[in-house]
Amino acid sequence: MTDLLLAPKRMIELEIDGQPVRVFEGETILGACRRLGIDTPTLCYGDTLEPANACRVCVVEVEGSRVLAPACSRKAEDGMKVQTDSERVRHSRKLVLELLASSVDLSTTRGSARRRRPTPIATASAPAITSSPTARRRPPSTRR
């Protein structure tokens, strides 16, 4: 068996939020952000998650680009200038989270039973149990 020697990857330099960073060619903007310790939010990016680039929460602003770029899939380029916390980026992330939240049914989450009133259960052998309006009233002697 022969050992293959691979050529070392070239290092490139880019700027993220005004800070220079060197990364290997082919690394994503998200990887470069993590090298600098810049916290970039992600929902769909992870070792066990597919497909990456689906949630658009990790978008960043790349100088010279018309559209925001997903940091989890956009490859870093030599000389690239990236903004991770601009007004445009924050606004886009807020919209994405609002859209995602609007499509989630929270009535099935834990604790939602406390917020809903239980519905009466009726079977053929037992009618639904409901309380009469008079059962809720206090006796006249204890009314305030």
Instruction: Give pTM, 2 decimals.
Output: 0.67
The answer as to CATH 3.10.180.10 being correct for domain 11-103 is no
* pLDDT higher than 70, residue 88: yes
How confident is the model over 40-57, as pLDDT tens digits?
999 887 778 776 778 899
Asked whether the beta carbons of 10 and 26 are under 8 A apart, the reply is: no
- Nearest residue to 18 via CA among 67, 71, 84, 69: 84
Q: Measured between alpha carbons, how far is residue 92 from residues 3, 55, 63, 64, 87 in Å?
A: 48, 12, 16, 18, 9
pLDDT value for 58: 94
Instruction: Specify the pLDDT at position 16.
Output: 97
What is the SS3 assignment for 139?
A: coil
Task: Break the chain into its structural domains and give their ranges.
Answer: 11-103
Q: Give which of 42, 37, 67 is closest to 57, Cα–Cα.
A: 42
